A and B are shown apart, each in its own frame.
Chain A
Amino acid sequence: MDARITLRVDGEERSPTVDTRTTLLDALRDRLGVMSPKKGCDHGQCGACTVLVGGRRVLGCLALAVAHDGAEVVTARGLGALPDGGDGNSGGGLNGNSRNGDGDGERQGPSDDGLHPVQRAFLDHDGLQCGYCTPGQVCSAVGMLAEAAAGHPSHVTDDLTRTGPAVLDDTEIRERMSGNLCRCGAYVNILAAVREQAAVREQAAPARGEAIP
């Protein structure tokens, strides 16, 4: 059985006809040709398909497309166009010193490279190798930073009565990013990238006064 649905994908309205069994991930990849979210397991075990739906991270392989008729979907391809990303205006100076010592930023491109600051941080810290988990990682990181800003606790949060933004130490970041597997083993660098972005947002948070994105 087929159904016609409407999705707003990376800012563009699309109306695919999908089999009612079609997952959001397969609708994006096989019906709309949006290949940015990846299929790593199709069972919600690896996180490669992570996209933002209404600003929250969602595993595209565990979501039925027809259940998301009318949804606003942002993939890694469209992250740079989010209000806090892409133009390099927020969280500027993000070419922070990674432990790689990538000194002068040669070939890093201009700040208006269309990337979300989290994506920029992944590049700066080499938080990727094969790149297959990466679109999911960056979407997950953006969604996770928003969850933390909104005060969501995690499995390793000690004080569940605390209000206000969650404090993202390394243990918290590792836990909150553990839904995204990376077989190349880039975790150490992903941590550095997310840690940097968490710090940038922590500094910006009082002025901003609201959750991101």
Chain B
Amino acid sequence: MTGTTTDRAVGTPLPRLDGHAKVTGTAPYAYEQRPDDAHPLHAHPVLATVARGRVRAVRTDDAAAAEGVVAVLTHRNAGPLPDLDGARDGELAVLQSDAVAFRGQCVAVVVAGTPETARHAASLVRVEYDEEPHDTELRADSPSLYAPEQVNPTFATDTDEGDVDAALAAAAVTVDRTYRTPMEHNAPMEPHTAVAVWEPRTDGADAEGTDAEGAKGTEGVRLTLYASTQGAHTVRTTLAPLFGLRPEQVRVVAPHVGGGFGSKGMPHAHDVLAVLCARAVPGRAVKLALTRQQTFPLAGHRTPTIQRLRLGADADGRLTAIAHEVVEHTSTVKEFAEQTAVGTRLMYAAPHRRTRHRLAALDVPVPSWMRAPGEAPGLFALEAAMDELAAAVGLDPVELRLRNDPPVDPESGKPWSGRHLAECLREGARRFGRPGGGAAPGSRVEDGEWVGTGVAASTYPYYAFPGSEALVRYDGGGRWTVRIGAADLGTGSRTALTQIAADALRQPVDAVTVELGDTELPSATVAGGSSGTASWGSAVVAAADAFRAEHGHDPAPGTRASAGTPEDPDAERYARHSFGAQFAEVRVDVDTGEVRVPRMLGVFSVGRVVNPRTARSQFVGGMTMGLSMALHEEGVLDHRTGHTVNHDLTGYHVAAHADVCDVEAVWLDEVDPHVNAMGARGIGEIGIVGAAAAVVNAVHDATGIRVRELPVTPDKLLG
């Protein structure tokens, strides 16, 4: 704790600093980079049309002969990936073998002079497969279920405390229900794109830049990748060794990112593909934009889940046992084990507790991070089960949660750095009205609609990653520049970091320019886990402190200082989590089963809010995505083909404007003294957590029907 920030800029609703560029469309996203390059090449991928098997033959003659085509790459000629650090990331082993591990895997790519030519030529590539039997269907009784070594990012796979079975058998009241969530897709508005330039060594030797050995000939190469990423340095760290390059040979640029929600948190196949193409045409810029359809198999998704929740309680609703057992899928080429039950470990006190995660490695695309991985699907199930328990006990759902609010972290026994769930619930109930309303479920009908309200709790852990570095420079003339390779994917981090820097430097925000989104800047950790402000902001404050310590209050122009994310001694002392309470009112058409949500309220406890304007937008945005999760989102895999059949924005509906009514977010006025110099715990993900449960609980209150399988489509209410 340096405590060096003052309250001048932090806490004020500074308008988004890149707002002008964004409302005019002049903020450059990845595909829009290199505007002066009059003739970039365009790449169009060819995706596998079988779910499992081998590529027997790829006929590229017609494609290669098409006018304007520069290259057609397949696993036979794309060249090796040296993979110097031996990470063997199966998702990134693009065009490295004839094996097809999921439908939609990249099997070829065409590089041509225009996007139209590339796309047309891609349609001329003929791929023949030796198909093998596949399995894409997640089943709770799948014989192939296994326990991963850990779940994302480093949590224990299973936890056990006490004797859950005995406690459940002895409990006065029990709930034993299974909840399901479907495959969900991040679907940021900016599809995943990359522009890659592989500039060969300039001394004339080995100008091809690569050869059959791949690693040879990369000396002197410069790779520039304009990426759509939540972490420029992460992309560099991952891709450089894959292509036999040292990190300093690679520059990744990403000043503006059109949303990511986790899907741009790590490089995916398209990034590798763009670089493979660029390596094949050294010196030329290659633009690769996945089509919206191609993003579905290639840019990550949230695993479907099957979650069994067992709760045992005494007659007063005090929990005696909590068991949360999760089945989810992963791919065969790369394991991603979503931490679905982890939130349950800390939400409520009970002497007997169990969590389980089991995976089935299926012939499916590679799952990955999607906003609040773990907590978003996990708290849906837990909080729906809590609602069922409240009904079984005959308790008000808010009161049930208050009775089970643990004084210390039930898992670690550590004190909370600040657990204010009870305040969130009480404040929300005061503002919104007591959910449930006291009338029997299904008894309130107005204008041909069932009306009901629901509540759910929310939580998200505090993450701050070590390893970020910030540089502070005094430019002269009262102006300062702060450099850190952070990302702003719409979160407002550019604005928030400017506020943090201004206070740390004791300067007005107008005096400070923050530069981010480039590996030429000091290294920064990924924008994930709601960690950005904490991780980067801490480094910025440390750099400002270092600057003052080194250069005093009257620095010469050009003076600079750097510092990294400081030590975090409270990490081991406290359980640090944000909490929230979500409320929803629903109206369900009695005849059609259509669910409308006229109002939602979220009350959050997140430590200090750096910028109430952008923070509110993030909360509301998360809640809106939670509403979308509750009512709309479902990736439909055709298990006969392994194909996500609704792979566009009509088939995979995300909440549109008409779906969203009054969504309000407020937060407690607090500072967490045990996290970082800002006292802020991060806000990017908690808004989605619990939102779907609040809606589903409201649907039960309205209709008397418990929907345990998302999304709540009309067929589930009219059956």
Residues of A within 8 A of B (CB): 19, 21-22, 26, 29-30, 33, 35-43, 45-46, 48, 75-77, 79-80, 98-103, 106-109, 113-115, 119, 122-124, 126, 128-135, 138, 170, 173-175, 177-178, 180-191
**Counting CB contacts under 8 A, is B191 at the interface?**
yes
5 residue pairs A–B, Cβ–Cβ below 8 Å? A38-B258, A40-B649, A130-B490, A134-B22, A184-B621
Contact of A128 among B23, B120, B664 (CB under 8 A): B23
Residue of A nearest to B38 (CB): A33
Shortest CB–CB separation between residue B12 and chain A, in angstroms? 8
- Decide: A183 near B117, CB < 8 A? Known: A43-B292, A43-B649: no
Residue of B nearest to A46 (CB): B649
- B35/A75 in contact, CB under 8 A: no
Shortest CB–CB separation between residue B694 and chain A, in angstroms? 15
- A126/B16 in contact, CB under 8 A: yes
- Which 5 pairs show the lowest CB-CB distances between chains A and B? A130-B490, A36-B25, A132-B258, A185-B624, A131-B22
- A107/B14 in contact, CB under 8 A: yes
Shortest CB–CB separation between residue B675 and chain A, in angstroms? 24
Residues of B within 8 A of A (CB): 12-29, 31-32, 35, 42, 114-117, 120, 187-191, 256-259, 261, 289, 291-292, 489-492, 509-510, 612-614, 616-618, 620-625, 628, 648-650, 654-658, 660-664
- Assembled-state Cα–Cα distance A100/B667 (Å): 13
Contacts of A40 in B (CB 8 A): 189-191, 292, 649
- Assembled-state Cα–Cα distance A107/B663 (Å): 27
- Assembled-state Cα–Cα distance A186/B621 (Å): 6
Residue of A nearest to B193 (CB): A39
- B32/A185 in contact, CB under 8 A: no
- A131/B116 in contact, CB under 8 A: no
- A177/B15 in contact, CB under 8 A: no
Residue of B nearest to A103 (CB): B13
Shortest CB–CB separation between residue A174 and chain B, in angstroms? 5
- Assembled-state Cα–Cα distance A188/B599 (Å): 11
Contacts of B117 in A (CB 8 A): 19
- Decide: A19 near B114, CB < 8 A? Known: A40-B292, A123-B16: yes
Residue of A nearest to B27 (CB): A131
- Decide: A188 near B662, CB < 8 A? Known: A38-B258, A107-B17, A183-B188: yes
Contact of B24 among A80, A174, A186 (CB under 8 A): A80
- A45/B648 in contact, CB under 8 A: yes
Contacts of A124 in B (CB 8 A): 15
- A35/B618 in contact, CB under 8 A: no
Contacts of A114 in B (CB 8 A): 24
New contact pairs (5) apart from A41-B292, A113-B20, A115-B20, CB-CB < 8 Å: A41-B648, A130-B489, A181-B649, A181-B656, A188-B664
Shortest CB–CB separation between residue A93 and chain B, in angstroms? 17
Residue of A nearest to B258 (CB): A132
In this complex, which of A48, A133, A135, A184 has the most chain B Cβ atoms within 10 angstroms of its Cβ? A184
- B24/A135 in contact, CB under 8 A: yes
Shortest CB–CB separation between residue B285 and chain A, in angstroms? 13
In this complex, which of A22, A101, A119, A134 has the most chain B Cβ atoms within 10 angstroms of its Cβ? A134
Contacts of B259 in A (CB 8 A): 129-130, 132, 183-184
- B19/A133 in contact, CB under 8 A: no
Contacts of A180 in B (CB 8 A): 657
Contacts of B657 in A (CB 8 A): 173-175, 177-178, 180, 182, 187, 190-191
Residue of B nearest to A31 (CB): B114
- Assembled-state Cα–Cα distance A188/B135 (Å): 42
Contacts of A37 in B (CB 8 A): 25
Contacts of A99 in B (CB 8 A): 616
Contact of B15 among A123, A129, A130, A178 (CB under 8 A): A123
- Decide: A35 near B660, CB < 8 A? Known: A80-B24, A184-B490: no
Contacts of B656 in A (CB 8 A): 178, 181
Contact of A126 among B120, B613, B654 (CB under 8 A): B613
Contacts of A178 in B (CB 8 A): 656-658
- B189/A35 in contact, CB under 8 A: no
Contacts of B650 in A (CB 8 A): 43, 45
Contacts of B258 in A (CB 8 A): 38, 130-132
Contact of A26 among B115, B257, B624, B662 (CB under 8 A): B115
- B189/A132 in contact, CB under 8 A: yes
- Assembled-state Cα–Cα distance A40/B293 (Å): 11
Contacts of B492 in A (CB 8 A): 129
- B189/A181 in contact, CB under 8 A: yes
- Assembled-state Cα–Cα distance A134/B120 (Å): 30
Residue of A nearest to B651 (CB): A45
Contacts of B42 in A (CB 8 A): 30
- A102/B13 in contact, CB under 8 A: yes
Contact of A77 among B17, B24, B291 (CB under 8 A): B24
- Assembled-state Cα–Cα distance A79/B24 (Å): 8
- Assembled-state Cα–Cα distance A114/B20 (Å): 9
Contacts of B187 in A (CB 8 A): 183
Shortest CB–CB separation between residue B314 and chain A, in angstroms? 40
Residue of B nearest to A118 (CB): B23
Residue of B nearest to A175 (CB): B658
Contacts of B25 in A (CB 8 A): 35-38, 75-77, 134-135
Contacts of A185 in B (CB 8 A): 620-625, 628, 655, 660, 663
Contacts of B491 in A (CB 8 A): 129
- B660/A187 in contact, CB under 8 A: yes
Contact of B26 among A36, A107, A113, A191 (CB under 8 A): A36
- B649/A100 in contact, CB under 8 A: no
- B625/A39 in contact, CB under 8 A: no
- Assembled-state Cα–Cα distance A138/B188 (Å): 19
Shortest CB–CB separation between residue A21 and chain B, in angstroms? 5
- B24/A41 in contact, CB under 8 A: no
- Assembled-state Cα–Cα distance A185/B664 (Å): 12
Contacts of B661 in A (CB 8 A): 170, 174
Contacts of B27 in A (CB 8 A): 131
- Assembled-state Cα–Cα distance A98/B13 (Å): 11
Shortest CB–CB separation between residue B117 and chain A, in angstroms? 7
Shortest CB–CB separation between residue A138 and chain B, in angstroms? 6
Contacts of B292 in A (CB 8 A): 40-43, 45-46
Residue of B nearest to A104 (CB): B12
Contacts of A100 in B (CB 8 A): 13, 612-613, 616
- B116/A26 in contact, CB under 8 A: yes
Contacts of B621 in A (CB 8 A): 129, 184-186
- B23/A122 in contact, CB under 8 A: yes
- Decide: A134 near B614, CB < 8 A? Known: A38-B258, A178-B656, A183-B654: no
- Assembled-state Cα–Cα distance A113/B620 (Å): 28
- B658/A134 in contact, CB under 8 A: no
- Assembled-state Cα–Cα distance A178/B292 (Å): 19
Shortest CB–CB separation between residue A194 and chain B, in angstroms? 10
Shortest CB–CB separation between residue A41 and chain B, in angstroms? 4
- B15/A107 in contact, CB under 8 A: yes
Contacts of B16 in A (CB 8 A): 123, 126, 128
Shortest CB–CB separation between residue B511 and chain A, in angstroms? 11
Contacts of B116 in A (CB 8 A): 19, 21-22, 26
- B24/A115 in contact, CB under 8 A: yes
Shortest CB–CB separation between residue A163 and chain B, in angstroms? 25
In this complex, which of A46, A102, A138 has the most chain B Cβ atoms within 10 angstroms of its Cβ? A46
- A126/B617 in contact, CB under 8 A: yes
Shortest CB–CB separation between residue B23 and chain A, in angstroms? 4
- B189/A48 in contact, CB under 8 A: yes
- Assembled-state Cα–Cα distance A42/B25 (Å): 17
Contacts of A115 in B (CB 8 A): 20, 23-24
- B624/A187 in contact, CB under 8 A: yes
- Assembled-state Cα–Cα distance A42/B345 (Å): 43
- Decide: A131 near B490, CB < 8 A? Known: A36-B26, A40-B649, A45-B650: yes
